[in-house]
Structure formats: structure tokens, C-alpha cells
A and B are shown apart, each in its own frame.
Chain A
């Protein structure tokens, strides 16, 4: 396949960026999207040009490092991560637009790489449990009802890639934050911090400059792990409950 790529190039955080056009030939439909970008970068290096910077790590769809907006969709046309997207999803002669995540809380570092440490700070604000560490506890010590375990797992699937923020017209981090809150709030292990967790994580989310939720549903559509939109509804309920409880104290 022969493709035309229009890629966002930006030297550093302070520089102005622009779309640059590149041609790539001999692209196999079996290549992953990132392998196709590797091919482009090899050619650029041979020509003595600066290769395109992009984030990637496991390339198995589980780490959440890859982050590209492809033809206006976070992670491209398939419901998966960019690393798990294959070139068979495109046609010979296609023009593909590749842009970084866009949100003021995710500043561009270089080309397609953005700084997602705002997510780390949201996790630090409450995405943990206080429990004795050491060897694994006996599994029957804390029984968890099956529906709760399934619910927690569904939310624990979030890999923190930030596609929800990239897709949201308001640059909101509600789906990410709600996945983390619901994952721990439903489990007995997360119960001691149930109220402080949701209050602190939402406060940190606002602090980072993410937008608010207008329930467009773009986040849940873009999420490679299928975190449902009702996750946000449930976090809202948890937040209102925690605020009422805090008000009584």
C-alpha cells in the first residue's frame, strides 16, 4: 500500500506546530500502525531528518502509552489502542491525518508526544487503598460478591491512555477519573476511603484544568477498553453522596 501521511510536527512545548506531509510506500496490511510509523522514521533517519516522536511501550494494548488521534478519532477507526490498530483498516492511496491528544491539561512535549502526568496526580489524590502490604492475603478473608467483582474489574480495565480526554470536546477527564473511583469504591478493600477518594480525585481533576462533562458520550465511544458512560453517572452519585456525608460532619 502507498499512503500519504499528514503528521503534526512540533519541535518542543514552546514552538508552534504544523501538519507536515509524508509519503510512505510498501506498507503491508499486516503491519501495525506503529510499525508503519517506524518505517516512516527509518526513512526520515536515512534522509538525515528528525524522526517523528510518538509514545509507545508494550505494543500489546495493555500499557496505555500509545496516543494518536488518527483521522480525528482517538486511537483511530477501530475500538482498540493505536498499537493494536493494523494497516488493513486503511486502503491503498489513503491520506491519514495523525495528531496528538488535544487538551490544555495534556501539553504537547514534542510532535505527537503529550505530557499525561496530570493523570498520575489524579491517581495520587485517591486512586489507591490503604492496606497492609506483603505476601498475598488469603482469598477468602474478604468475600466480594460476584457482581461487584465484575463491576470493579470492568473499571479496572482502564489503562489511563487518555483517549477519553482526547475525544471529549471539553477536554474532560471524567471517564478516566470515574473508572478509577468506581473500581475501588465498589470493593470492600476500597471502603475506608470511599468518600475522600471521590472528593479528592474530582478536586484534583478540576485542579489540573480538565473541562467538565456535557455527556456527549464521545469518551466512552473512544475508550479502547470499553469503560461505559454510566461510569460517569456512578461517579456523580458517589460524589454527591460523599458531599452530603461531609456536610453532616
Chain B
């Protein structure tokens, strides 16, 4: 069965839909966590520490966190590999372009591939910046995410990279959420408007919620 799914364009698209849904669920939790930054360093850093103790005493320190990380890495890899293989196939299926060109589909739909690449690169930078601190500016402080976030958004490039990526994320979710529903066979004529509305609301709330943090630092609300 796994073979049938992976070898079919319809099945591979379902892999993309499910992995995308997992990442989307994570992002909802992520944005709620991020917004605690507006309640001060104490609450934010406490929340960050709590993430490591979730599930205790059943789970050991950081076990839950690592479990989530493993699931996310699997989801990102499955999503990216399917997208790459399907895109290769799509490009091969239409080798010669039309001479008479027309603007096609919505902006969100046309930017799925580039948007996905931007998001992939962003994730790498984001982890190196705020999880490992490898490319962090201004001295990374282990266990003090509030101070680290303020550092990152005190640089112009930190803000630019983050805001561009979050706009790409909004567009990606706008087409991706609705698209995933169709791929998994959950769409219908009567449900179409509701699905599109949910996609738009999710895209808007997530983008606005994430961008609120750099804007907060830039305007001095968070310092």
C-alpha cells in the first residue's frame, strides 16, 4: 500500500497534504507560543522552559520536544521530496510552452514552488539563528529566548528575512490548505466557500501573528 501511494501522483499529493497539515497544526501552536513575548521576558522564558518539561514525569526532560522535532523533520522532508518529484514530473509533462502567454491562476497558486523553497531556506536559518544560535547576532544566550528574539529583530536583515518568509507562508497556506482538502477528497461544492474562507483566515492570522513579533521589537513594545 505504501508503495502504491508513493508511486502515484495522486498518492504523493496526499503525502504532501498530510505532511502540510501536520506542519500547519504545529504553526498554530507556535504562533500562540510566540505571542507570549508581549507579556514580558519572565512569561516568555518560562514558557520556553516549560516546553522542555512537557509530559513529565511520564516523559523525561526534553523527550516530548524531541518527539515533536522528529515528527516535524519527517513532515518537512516528506513534503519537500514529494514536491520536488512532482514538480520535476510536471515540468517534464509540459516541455514546450505556448507562444501566446496568458496570466494564469491566482498569485498564491503560482508561487507555491518558489514560496516553498523560500520557506525551506527560512527554516534552516531560523533554527541556526534561534535554536542552535550558530548564526545568531549579538551573543546567543542558552535558555533566554526572549533576549535572543530581541537581538535577531534588532538587525535589519533579521527583520527582512523573517517578514518576507512570513508573507510567503501566508500565500503558501492560502492555496495549500484548500488544496490539501481537495487532495484528501474532503472538498465539495457546498463546502468550497467555507474551505476557502478557513484557508484565508488561517493564512491571515498566522502571518499577522508571526509578524507581530518583529514589529513589536522594531516599535519598542518588546525590548
Interfacial residues, chain A to chain B (CB-CB below 8 A) = 6, 8, 19, 69, 71-73, 97, 99, 102-105, 168-172, 199, 202-203, 205-206, 209-218, 228-230, 232-241, 243-244, 246-247
A202 touches B8 (CB 8 A): yes
CB of B78, distance to nearest CB on chain A (Å): 16
B99 touches A99 (CB 8 A): yes
Interface of B is mostly: helix
A214 touches B179 (CB 8 A): yes
B90 touches A172 (CB 8 A): yes
A215 touches B109 (CB 8 A): yes
Instruction: Select from chain B the residue with minimum beta-carbon distance to A70.
Output: B100
A209 touches B92 (CB 8 A): yes
Q: CB-CB < 8 A to A102: which residues of B?
A: 94, 96-98
A73 touches B14 (CB 8 A): no
Q: Is B209 an interface residue (CB 8 A)?
A: no
Complex Cα spacing A206 to B181, Å: 22
Complex Cα spacing A217 to B183, Å: 13
Question: 6 A-B Cβ contacts within 8 A?
Answer: A97-B100, A102-B97, A104-B92, A169-B94, A169-B105, A206-B7
> Given that A19-B99, A206-B8, A233-B185 are known contacts, is A103 also in contact with B93, CB under 8 Å in the complex?
yes
Complex Cα spacing A228 to B12, Å: 23
B13 touches A213 (CB 8 A): yes
Interface readout for B40-64 with A: 1 if CB under 8 Å, 0 if not?
A: 0000000000000000000000000
Complex Cα spacing A217 to B178, Å: 12
The number of chain B residues touching the other chain, given as a range, is: 35 or more
Q: CB-CB < 8 A to A6: which residues of B?
A: 99
CB of A10, distance to nearest CB on chain B (Å): 11
Q: CB-CB < 8 A to A233: which residues of B?
A: 181-182, 185-188
Q: CB-CB < 8 A to B178: which residues of A?
A: 215
Instruction: Select from chain B the residue with minimum beta-carbon distance to A178.
Output: B10
Instruction: Select from chain B the residue with minimum beta-carbon distance to A239.
Output: B10
Partner of B93, one of A170, A199, A216, A237: A170
Q: Is B215 an interface residue (CB 8 A)?
A: no
CB of B116, distance to nearest CB on chain A (Å): 11
B90 touches A243 (CB 8 A): no
Partner of A232, one of B7, B92, B175, B182: B182
CB of B82, distance to nearest CB on chain A (Å): 10
Q: Is B217 an interface residue (CB 8 A)?
A: no
